[in-house]
Amino acid sequence: MRNRSSAALIRKVLDPTVYSLLETSWASPVPPGRSIEWILDHLLVPPPITTLRVNAVDAEKVEDVIATATKLFYPRDVQRHSLLDDVLIVNHDTVSSSEGLPSRTKQREDPRAKECFVNSDRGCSTNCHAATSISTRTRTVAAGQESQFQRDNKDHDEVVLRTDQRKGLKENGGGQLPVILVDRRCGQAVLRGAHVFSGGVLASEPHLRVGEMVEVFTLPGRLHKSKLAVECANVQRNQEMSSIHSSAVAAQPSELPLHGQKSQEADAHHASENIRAGGEERSTSADKSDPESNGELRGGDCDCGRSEAQNDETEQEHLASVLRGTYLRAALPERVRKTGIFCGRGIIRQNLGQVYAGKPGIAVEMESAIDLSTLPACLVAQNLPSIVVGHVLSPQPGERVLDMCAAPGGKTLHLATLMKGHGLIVAVERSKTRAEKLRSFLSTSSHASIVEIVCGDSAKGTWQSTQLGKGSHGRGFIGYFDRVLADVPCTALGLRPRIDFEGLTDRVVLAAAKYQREFLKSGCQLLKTGGTLVYSTCSVSRAENEENVAWALRHLPLMLEPAEPFVGTHTFENGDRGARLFPPGEAEKLQRFCPSGNTIGFFIAKFRNTGTG
């Protein structure tokens, strides 16, 4: 997937305890000739597609929505998903012709993840569905050369990854553009499709002008401050102050090194990143600026790893403060290229002196950015697995549905769409801030009027419904709901691209899994006999997924059902990795999305309440 000489490998970014936990308990099959590390390395790069959901109850309007999407994203190619009628695929690496017909680079999209399974008697086999970026092999292709490669290899299971979007796929050597270094969260936002806002810029090569093309890099999460910051400081000290002044003034009078200066727009790129994630994934680690809006496990959820998180964040903030406003001179640009993560190319839109002084706005306009911030109400940007969750739950018009962790609302709105605006959805959200944002998001769709937004804790049952009027809290609705969605808070170990793993240790993962069981227990109590409960996470850890399913089957009156439709892979248990968690035939009812496919890593399990026990 990437040049092995690159330092931007998941092993160097993840905490060693987390990497070891994932490697030793990996629940999914590994393609022949590949490794778990190869799969996990995909977490550092963005999926090659963007998925949109058609937010329309009337089937006759779907074609109009598709036409709208085609115009909005031109010249990128927009296709309809082959299995899900309400899903559109925006291909990053293919374009439509000027006549509106598919170009020669277009391939038929069948965006199911790579379907691999392990049979302990037969070994590992794979069944790979052709798609624009699903593979068991990769090839480095320079930007502008991918069309011919795709034509020549359209029947092969190879990934075509554009070099201007992936670190390590960039050719080293001559013709390199100047370097701009951004902080880790900004880099993550850029990889998800955002521009570079001034608050995220840390350092740059000197003498850069507005309108100049640059390469944007960020630093791996576990790079110690001495690795680069000290080098940068040493180079700065070795420069004669007179020559620094003269050269800086000659180039851009306002671009003097401003060590340690804080930007006044620190949160701009965080907000952009949330948009890039489709407004859907609660468990993105980017939005640390507002503790209530961050959907990862918060401090009150689990105690483990709190000191590690604080220490890591403190070190990263110190590193950013040391680097912010410095010039990358001498060998430092090459050092950044070797140790950093390549985020893409863009054009400088602001004088860097003004950027370092805190002027708000876009500092670098990225080539590959896709603006999802102004989508019409008929289109909702969501990761593909997040859409599949709604179809697995499959709520029907007139039913009573509980969404246990509703904000920011993409899945909630999808459920209302599937119910055609008839029935009741109780959407519970613990954070008041996120509940208000959820209310605002749903207000743009008339069929979302069936949603009652409730602020409370669904894990503890401490919420109250004014519409239902039964009891003072959620525990008064035992056996009441036809369907329950438990899309629980998680460690987000499946989100991609993700390069920010602050404070995430093995203890945090295990504590998260334990906390998630509270949602399963509470959701089961509120589900009527024969009702459906869907459990999902955007994590790839077995502790949060298969092990929690096994726990639920042992302790709750639940039985597994196939998590259909299967757009991702079936989970086939690997008998070589410890004792089996499930009886024969049960594991294959689970659905996993592998991060080495064209989506984020994700997990879905579907239960039916047996009413026994």
Strand 527-537 versus strand 558-561 pairing type: unpaired
Q: What is the CA radius of gyration of the chain?
A: 24
- Spell out the long-range contacts of 468-475 with Cβ–Cβ below 8 A and sequence spacing 24 or more: 468/424, 468/426, 474/428, 474/522, 474/526, 475/525
Question: Active site includes 538?
Answer: yes
**Helix H or strand E segment including 406:** none
429 is known to lie in a ligand binding site: yes
Cα–Cα distance measured from residue 562 to residue 591, given in angstroms and rounded to the nearest whole number: 8
406 is known to lie in a ligand binding site: yes
Q: Sign of dihedral through CA atoms 177, 179, 184, 186?
A: negative
Cα–Cα distance measured from residue 7 to residue 14, given in angstroms and rounded to the nearest whole number: 13
Cα–Cα distance measured from residue 475 to residue 465, given in angstroms and rounded to the nearest whole number: 11
409 is known to lie in a ligand binding site: yes
Cα–Cα distance measured from residue 315 to residue 13, given in angstroms and rounded to the nearest whole number: 15
407 is known to lie in a ligand binding site: yes
> Which residue in this structure is represented by tokens 């459990």?
535
Task: With beta carbons less than 8 A apart as the criterion, state whether 375 and 393 touch.
Answer: no
411 is known to lie in a ligand binding site: yes
- In the set 232, 490, 538, 594, the catalytic residue is 538
Cα–Cα distance measured from residue 403 to residue 238, given in angstroms and rounded to the nearest whole number: 59
Q: How many residues comprise the chain?
A: 613
Burial of 12 (0-12, 13-18, 19+ CB in 10 A): middle
Distance (Å) of CA 178 to CA 220, 278, 307: 20, 31, 38
**3-class secondary structure, 259:** coil
DSSP string, 260-294: TPPPS-TTHHHHHHHHHTTTT-TT-SS-TTSGGG-
Cα 154–77–67 angle (5° rounding)? 140
Task: With beta carbons less than 8 A apart as the criterion, state whether 573 and 27 touch.
Answer: yes
DSSP letter (8 states) at residue 161? E
408 is known to lie in a ligand binding site: yes
DSSP string, 523-534: HHHHEEEEEEEE
Task: With beta carbons less than 8 A apart as the criterion, state whether 96 and 70 touch.
Answer: yes
Enumerate the known binding-site residues.
405-411, 429, 457, 487
What residues are annotated to the active site? Answer: 538
Enumerate the known binding-site residues for S-adenosyl-L-methionine.
405-411, 429, 457, 487
